[in-house]
């Protein structure tokens, strides 16, 4: 997985405008299956980034769908459009929290990189690493709170069906529900992925053997050491060795290298989330237009 983030390229997120309803729905339903299929892959920085891009493409498709007179008529029935608006608010808030969390992680990673490059005395390095580790603990609290919020949203968001209405209405309601469910699932996956893990630290030597591609088998299940976990483990190990006046230049250089890899991955998350956030805002604007028309 090492270096995979640096080679990621985001696809152009666009769909043909003014597609007929059946074609638009079919396109979105196909895309939903593709995004779901990615969820079955081994969780990695690359698959999460691709998942966010795929989700943004889904929202583009939904926005196209919301422009059609037939769909606008369907959504204006009952409370469907109000439910969709309520859902869009909480998901936008969650996306914004994720953006802020990723920005904070990026800032802390870059500060620690700079400190390790300057190095200075052992005490300076110890203080800088301690500051980074404290920031990770604060991040964990924020992540736990965000996960609880998403779980609460997940319980409230239920698929709305139209058993006595036309087939198009049922398909539209199902698409909106599945896009909401995928959004929540992917946000939860990203939060868990970047969360600090409570793992025993077996020293820098173990980390150098593990690398970013290494896996261990536990009951025939692969456990991937991702970029975030690697940095957490290696910084804790460096913190302990530095406090004991056993800091080695090789350990510092390896930590800087892992931080650089994580920095690139964070850039990928940031770009994808910013793109997704903009499209989600457009989606909400389209829903508001249905209400006022």
Here the tokens at position 136 are 């990770």
pLDDT digits (tens, 9 = 90+) for 189-213: 999 999 987 554 443 333 333 333 3
Angle (CA) 186-162-154 rounded to 5° is 25
Mean pLDDT of 79-102: 89
Q: Round to whole Å and give the CA distance between 196 and 143.
A: 9
Q: Round to whole Å and give the CA distance between 1 and 172.
A: 38
Here the tokens at position 141 are 């609290």
pLDDT of residue 171: 81
DSSP E strands in the chain: the ranges are 215-218, 221-224
pLDDT of residue 213: 34
Residues 112/210, Cβ–Cβ less than 8 Å: no
**For the whole model, what pTM was predicted?**
0.80
What is residue 286's DSSP assignment?
H
pLDDT digits (tens, 9 = 90+) for 55-75: 999 999 999 888 888 888 877
Here the tokens at position 253 are 């250089």
Place of tokens 């909400």: 284
**Which candidate, 119, 110, 115, places its Cα nearest to that of 247?**
119
pLDDT digits (tens, 9 = 90+) for 107-129: 999 999 998 888 766 677 888 89
What is residue 42's DSSP assignment?
P
Place of tokens 């604060």: 138
Q: Round to whole Å and give the CA distance between 4 and 43.
A: 13
What is the residue-averaged pLDDT of the chain? 79
Residues 284/85, Cβ–Cβ less than 8 Å: yes
Here the tokens at position 219 are 């009951």
**Which candidate, 243, 241, 201, places its Cα nearest to that of 225?**
201
Here the tokens at position 119 are 């190095």
- The packing angle between helices 21-38 and 45-65, to 10°, is 170
Greatest Cα pair distance, the chain, in angstroms, is: 74
Q: What share of the chain is helix, strand, coil (3-state, %, to 5)?
A: 75, 5, 25
**Which candidate, 79, 3, 46, 63, places its Cα nearest to that of 193?**
46
């Amino acid at each position: 997985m090492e270096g995979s983030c640096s080679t990621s390229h985001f696809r152009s997120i666009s769909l043909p405008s003014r597609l007929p309803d059946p074609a638009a729905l079919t396109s979105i339903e196909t895309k939903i299956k593709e995004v779901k299929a990615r969820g079955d892959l081994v969780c990695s920085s690359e698959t999460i980034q691709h998942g966010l891009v795929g989700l943004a493409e889904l929202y583009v498709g939904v926005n196209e769908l919301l422009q059609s007179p037939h769909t606008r008529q369907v959504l204006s029935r009952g409370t469907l459009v109000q439910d969709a608006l309520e859902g869009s608010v909480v998901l936008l808030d969650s996306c914004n929290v994720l953006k802020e969390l990723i920005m904070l992680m990026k800032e802390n990673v870059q500060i620690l990189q700079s400190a390790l490059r300057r190095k200075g005395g052992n005490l300076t390095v110890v203080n800088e690493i301690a500051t980074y580790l404290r920031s990770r603990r604060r991040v964990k609290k924020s992540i736990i709170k965000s996960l609880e919020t998403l779980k609460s949203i997940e319980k409230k968001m239920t698929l709305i069906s139209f058993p006595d209405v036309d087939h198009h209405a049922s398909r539209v309601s199902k698409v909106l529900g599945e896009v909401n469910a995928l959004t929540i699932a992917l946000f939860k996956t990203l939060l868990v992925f970047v969360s600090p893990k409570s793992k025993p630290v077996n020293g820098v030597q173990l980390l150098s053997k593990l690398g970013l591609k290494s896996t261990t088998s536990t009951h025939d299940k692969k456990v991937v050491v991702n970029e975030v976990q690697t940095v957490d483990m290696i910084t804790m190990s460096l913190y302990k060795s530095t406090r004991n006046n056993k800091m080695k230049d090789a350990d510092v250089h390896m930590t800087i290298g892992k931080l650089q890899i994580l920095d690139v991955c964070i850039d990928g998350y940031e770009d994808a989330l910013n793109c997704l956030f903009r499209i989600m805002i457009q989606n909400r604007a389209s829903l508001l237009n249905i209400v006022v028309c």
